[in-house]
Structure 1
């Protein structure tokens, strides 16, 4: 586990406003991993993403926006309880403090269970919110590895606790139990094999599936492993980087995106590509969703 004193603000110390009150964007590092299914290391994901963010250039190449001037404040990292249900409530309370002030919240995980608390907080703050999930997996199991709050259960818990409409994009791995739940709930995932790399019509369909106010959760395994190899379950056949950015751009332009998270980063020793790309995705959320 990385010690709290080793964390740096997103973009480095020069980016950090003097106080959170002046910030438009608040970064919440959630250092949590419990009962992973396969690869490990996501607990330290926020640290590695923040370290990589210091190496980014502040000018966005598509919009020519200097994201370093948007007012980004990084909170001290939260190390939640080892009890999954307790951890969810701790993360929910941390997110509530930011969302009540109507600031844009970006939570950094951690395994995908870090999304439950912030989504619950966002649903209470913004009634009628919808969830855009970028993921290789449906995450609709009722229980996994001894917990109903495991990373493989997060969308089921979110649907049960918030009733929010969901658009699940990039899906290509799931269990028979999850297929049954999809059919029962009449969900309509956007499966990876149906997404044409030469045609972005699917993005319009995603927009139609979402209400006006949106929370975006980016499980990095939603991207192809050629883009993000450093994740716990790297499933082949995922979204490209440019497909993800075009989706974020469209949702940011057409919807009111109030919060997001990036999760499941697991560093591979000797390479920085996954954490650098994840940090770059964060900046795209800033420039397109504010």
Structure 2
């Protein structure tokens, strides 16, 4: 059952209107033609609901993240037609970014990123993208659409020529492999990341320009951390690896916007949505704070 809409953090976060806010949360309950598991359309509601259970103090920094002037928008109406949905999502993100706010979008399936990242790229020319994901998302078309979740980075890094780095990849087609090789698309495969050495984080960040958009597909983390996602792939990033990457990115680059997507909750357990909410809180602290 879909939870009712609540603002991020619930009663823990002081009410802040859009104009006075620093950070804006944009729920995007959109899903079209999923590849495997379904349910990401309700993901934003579950993340928001889980966020109400978090304490106000970030345990690593001691900062009260609830004081960061966070405003949560009501979910916009989104067309079920993929190409039209992308345009509507881009317009919703643009209205926020044009006000100079830091934007965190909550999907929905990964196709929402086509719209939000395009809006950010127009607001911040020369921007790059850091993609945390199990999949390359470099297919030219999938399930009858070029605006499917499996085509996100083909549209952004391919068509739009946005410099991008993908981390945690461990599942891809021959088409995607060949496209990455031919274009020099930067990919850090999950099996090549040393769990005992964080030098790879420096390498990832060094490949990105000053302004960065962070897209976090929850299947980029290992299913032992987040089992509730549409296509769980074994061998992903640990929670601490993902957190170290987010911290390193925020320390060395200007993160202008971000998204978290592809939550598909599992009944009778809250670990996936709560972890997603905690990752959002960490983005606030390390990238937007």
The TM-score by the shorter chain falls in which range?
over 0.9
How many angstroms does 1:186 deviate by?
1.2
Q: Aligned residues, how many?
A: 288
1:67 pairs, out of 65, 68, 85, with 65
2:257 pairs, out of 251, 256, 259, with 259
Matches within 5 A, 1:96-175: 96-175=94-173
| Residue in structure 2 matched with residue 95 of structure 1 by the alignment | 93
| Residue in structure 2 matched with residue 285 of structure 1 by the alignment | 283
How many angstroms does 1:160 deviate by?
3.4
| Residue in structure 2 matched with residue 27 of structure 1 by the alignment | 25
CA shift digits 1:113-150 (9 cap, x unpaired)? 01000100000000010000000000000000000000
Contact 1:17 1:23 in 2 (8 A): no
| Residue in structure 2 matched with residue 271 of structure 1 by the alignment | 269
**RMSD across aligned positions (CA):** 1.1
Contact 1:120 1:158 in 2 (8 A): yes
Contact 2:129 2:213 in 1 (8 A): yes
| Residue in structure 2 matched with residue 245 of structure 1 by the alignment | 243
Q: Which structure 1 residue ranges, 5 or more long, are not aligned?
A: none
Matched, 1:179 2:160: no
2:200 pairs, out of 199, 202, 217, with 202
How many angstroms does 1:161 deviate by?
4.1
Matches within 5 A, 1:224-239: 224-239=222-237
TM-score in terms of structure 2 length: 0.98
How many angstroms does 1:164 deviate by?
1.2
CA shift digits 1:71-100 (9 cap, x unpaired)? 110000124101100000000000001101
- Using the alignment, how far apart are the partners of 1:27 and 1:107 within structure 2? 6
How many angstroms does 1:14 deviate by?
4.4
TM-score in terms of structure 1 length: 0.97
Corresponding residue SS for 1:95: helix
| Residue in structure 2 matched with residue 83 of structure 1 by the alignment | 81
CA shift digits 1:238-275 (9 cap, x unpaired)? 00000000000010010000100000000100000000
Corresponding residue SS for 1:214: strand
Contact 1:41 1:265 in 2 (8 A): yes
- Using the alignment, how far apart are the partners of 1:88 and 1:216 within structure 2? 18
1:217 pairs, out of 215, 234, 244, with 215
